[in-house]
Amino acid sequence: MNIISAEYNQWGGISVVTEDMPEGGSITVPTDPDNMDYVQLQEWAAKEGNEIKAYVAPPPPPPQPTIQDLMAQIEELKAMLK
């Protein structure tokens, strides 16, 4: 496995991008010392310059507008059309 990058995912596994994957594709490797891909990944991470990046949660979605907000926008649009 020719590893390009690795990053922990939200489920505790490790998302790994390899040279064999299509662009944007990855495989998930479980954090199981009996898993051969995990062993190979640990060997890769032990080499200088390689690291398994920490999981970073995406930002929360923006709040949904309330019905009052939507009604106010409709009234503003009606006023603009007059």
Q: How high is the pLDDT of residue 62?
A: 93
User: Has residue 68 been placed in a domain?
Assistant: no
Exposed/middle/buried for residue 3 (C-beta within 10 Å: 0-12, 13-18, 19+): buried
> How many structural domains compose the chain?
1
User: Has residue 78 been placed in a domain?
Assistant: no
User: Has residue 41 been placed in a domain?
Assistant: yes
User: Has residue 31 been placed in a domain?
Assistant: yes
User: Has residue 67 been placed in a domain?
Assistant: no
Q: In whole angstroms, give the CA distance from residue 48 to residue 55.
A: 21
User: Has residue 52 been placed in a domain?
Assistant: yes
Taking residues 1-11, what's their average pLDDT? 93
User: Has residue 18 been placed in a domain?
Assistant: yes
Q: In whole angstroms, give the CA distance from residue 81 to residue 66.
A: 23
pLDDT in tens, 18-48: 888 887 688 999 999 999 999 999 999 999 9
Task: Tell me the residue range of the domain where 39 lies.
Answer: 1-58
